[in-house]
Structure 1
Amino acid sequence: MEIREALGEALRRMRNLHGLTQEDFGLVSSRTYVSALERGIKAPTLQKIDDLAGRIGVHPLSLIVTAYLMQDPEIGIDGLISRMREEVIEP
């Protein structure tokens, strides 16, 4: 699964989990754009991920991390966080 497809699936799952429809994103995006994202046809910008996550009520990293976990479920959340601890540069 490509990351674009995984991000689309993560968006769809989080949207459904929070009881939102594609139409509920009208203030940040059109329904057709959200649909294209969820089907993995389009790849969002970082700003769009921030907007979408804000509409859902989650941190943008939650969408991104969920996508990467879907792409590689064997790493697990603990493995991914461990890797990020090693790689992230704190200000």
Structure 2
Amino acid sequence: MEFQQAFGFTLRRLRLAKGLTQEAFYDIVSESYVSKLENGKRTPTWGLVTEIASILEVDPLVLITLVVAEQRGLDAKILAEGVVQGVERTEGSMPSS
């Protein structure tokens, strides 16, 4: 599954779980753009991801983790654990600031 399709599926699922209509996003995007996002026809910018996450009341990184898990057919918790392990490995090889 492509990222934009996974994003659209995840957006719709979270929106419905929160009891939100597409109108909840009209302050940041047009009605047609919300529909295009949910139908996997548009890919949001990082700025838009953060605004959408705010409306959904989730951290943008949680939203992206859920999207990537959907895209890869993985459990989001297992993916998140892998991210934590990757960060821990990377931090050890980065110079101190």
Q: Does the TM-score normalized on the shorter chain lie above 0.5? A: yes
Offset of residue 84 of structure 1: 4.0
- Whole-Å separation in 1 of the counterparts to 2:86 and 2:66: 15
Equivalent residue, structure 2, for 1:82: 85
- Give me the TM-score of the superposition, normalised by structure 2: 0.79
- Whole-Å separation in 1 of the counterparts to 2:33 and 2:56: 16
Offset of residue 86 of structure 1: 3.3
Equivalent residue, structure 1, for 2:65: 65
- Whole-Å separation in 1 of the counterparts to 2:64 and 2:87: 13
Deviations 1:20-68 (A, max 9, x none): 0111111111221111011110011000111111111111111110011
Equivalent residue, structure 2, for 1:50: 50
Equivalent residue, structure 2, for 1:30: 30
Q: Tell me how many residue pairs correspond in the alignment.
A: 91
- Whole-Å separation in 2 of the counterparts to 1:84 and 1:8: 27
Offset of residue 74 of structure 1: 6.0
Partner letter of residue 78 of structure 1? E
- Whole-Å separation in 1 of the counterparts to 2:10 and 2:52: 12
Identity of aligned residues (%): 34
- Whole-Å separation in 1 of the counterparts to 2:69 and 2:9: 11
Change (3 A) 1:41 1:58: same
Taking only aligned residues, the RMSD between alpha carbons, in angstroms, comes to 2.3
Secondary structure of 2:19's match? coil
Consecutive unaligned residues in structure 1, runs of 5 or more: none
